[in-house]
A and B are shown apart, each in its own frame.
Chain A
Amino acid sequence: MAGQTDPHVSLFSPEEVEFMAEDELVEIVPNMNMEPLNFIAGDFGRFIPQIPIQVPLWLAVALKRRGKCTFRPPGWLSVDNLTQVLEAEREPQSKFQALPFSYVEIARLLFDHARDDIPDMYMVRSLVEDIRDVRLHKLENNLGTFLGTSAVKMENVSAMEVNLVRPFARRALEAFYKHDKPEVVADRNTRSSRQPREANDEPRRPLRQR
């Protein structure tokens, strides 16, 4: 992959993940008049004071730094919603809660650049950090549950989290595959003479429910 900084680790750096997250759309309220902007990703504008508009995050940050707009914080970034998510994440045996794919990065960028536009900024920030830590623990527990599974299913894991465990998980699965393979071969040798294996395309092990 072209975007990888270090081919040996097969990892996007967090900065690269953040860069990709900057393409997400956010809502801003401009305070200036401007002609529409035509980008490869699409056309944005025109910008009229006090009329909310969706723009990519990087553009929003750039405008904000020049004092040309205010952010409308996304709906999920509210104390109520985050508290709810945190509660749900803390439930034992719960699934990962649905959050935007790049929630870590978006939150970080907003906290850095749009401090004054987020109500209860400190509360929100600590909630996001808590959620991130809880989810990281959960992810780690999940990693502990793959024992030679050939396929792993995890839902709602965000970009940064995936990127964090990618090199580890890949190597671990490779190792499992390597050690499981001889067993399968031996298995087939002993069994094939007696009865043909029932053909099924399903994974042999039931995928773990979280």
Chain B
Amino acid sequence: MASKYYDIDDILTEEEFAPVLFHKPANRVTIDPSAETNYVEQGAKVELPFWLAHELHLRQAVSINLPACFDQKTRLEIQADAACVDLRSRCPYFYEFGCKLQPLVTDRTLGILLSTAFKIRYKERLTKVFTATHLTASKFLPFLTIEETSLYEAAHLSMTAFKKWRTGGPRFQRASILGRKRKES
């Protein structure tokens, strides 16, 4: 965990909102700026960023529900054709967020949903990276989540480096120190 403390992706993942249900009334908190009182009633349904929801959940003040990006509609779409679902617009950190939510929600199928979605999308989309041209790839690139994009980038970078090497360029580089003329002593 400590190694992830400064990880920007991890921080952004925890910024995603999750709907929670308050089990206890909370005083002197302003969650909704337009509310008349600074008081949250018991049984109120609110959307909180994950990091806050998590802390409150540990204190058993709230229970976390599944966010909209894992709703029934998305599931059906993933079942139909996972490779074509635009996960990025639903949640840019679909997998990370799902993994973080998994131990906190009652839904047991979340893990399976994540792994099947990833397996299918991996097979259909990501393994084509090495031979596909960048042009065809750019069509599905906006659908990929951040995690998938980093995979894609890794493959793309190594492929570009390889192509660059194959087509040549300066072969033997001269060390800069060799270029200078030696001073006559």
CB within 8 Å of B: which residues of A? 9, 11, 13-15, 18, 108, 112, 136-137, 139-141, 143-144, 147-148, 160, 163-168, 171-172, 175-176, 178-180, 182-183, 186
Contacts and interface: CB of A to CB of B under 8 A. Distances in A.
Interface residues of B, number: 32
A148 B119 contact: yes
B147 interface: yes
B127 A164 contact: no
In order of increasing CB-CB distance, the 7 nearest A-B pairs are: A14-B165, A179-B115, A168-B155, A167-B154, A144-B127, A182-B111, A143-B127
- For the residues of B in contact with A, the DSSP-based class is helix
A13 B162 CA distance: 8
Contacts of B129: 168
A45 B28 CA distance: 87
A186 B115 CA distance: 14
B157 interface: yes
Nearest to A170: B154
19 contacts: A13-B161, A14-B162, A139-B130, A140-B127, A140-B130, A147-B119, A147-B123, A148-B115, A163-B158, A164-B130, A164-B162, A167-B154, A167-B155, A168-B130, A168-B154, A168-B155, A178-B99, A179-B99, A182-B102
B175 interface: no
Nearest to A142: B127
A15 B112 CA distance: 42
Interface in B80-102: 95, 99, 102
A172 B126 contact: yes
Contacts of B154: 9, 167-168, 171
A160 B158 CA distance: 10
Interface string B106-132: 001001101100110011001111110
A160 B123 contact: no
B60 interface: no
A163 B157 CA distance: 12
B4 interface: no
A11 B158 contact: yes
Nearest to B164: A14
Nearest to A14: B165
A140 B157 contact: no
Nearest to B113: A179
A182 B164 CA distance: 41
Contact of B111 (A18, A144, A179): A179
Given A18-B165, A182-B102, A164 B128 contact: no
A142 B129 CA distance: 13
A15 B162 CA distance: 9
Nearest to A168: B155
Interface hub of A18, A147, A148, A175 (most chain B Cβ within 10 A): A175
Interface string B125-148: 011111100000000000000010
B157 A175 contact: no
Most buried by A among B128, B130, B154: B154
A175 B155 contact: no
B171 interface: yes
A97 B154 CA distance: 27
A4 to B, nearest CB: 12
B105 interface: no
A164 B159 contact: yes
Contacts of B127: 140-141, 143-144
B151 A160 contact: no
Nearest to A5: B161
B79 interface: no
Contacts of B159: 164
B37 interface: no
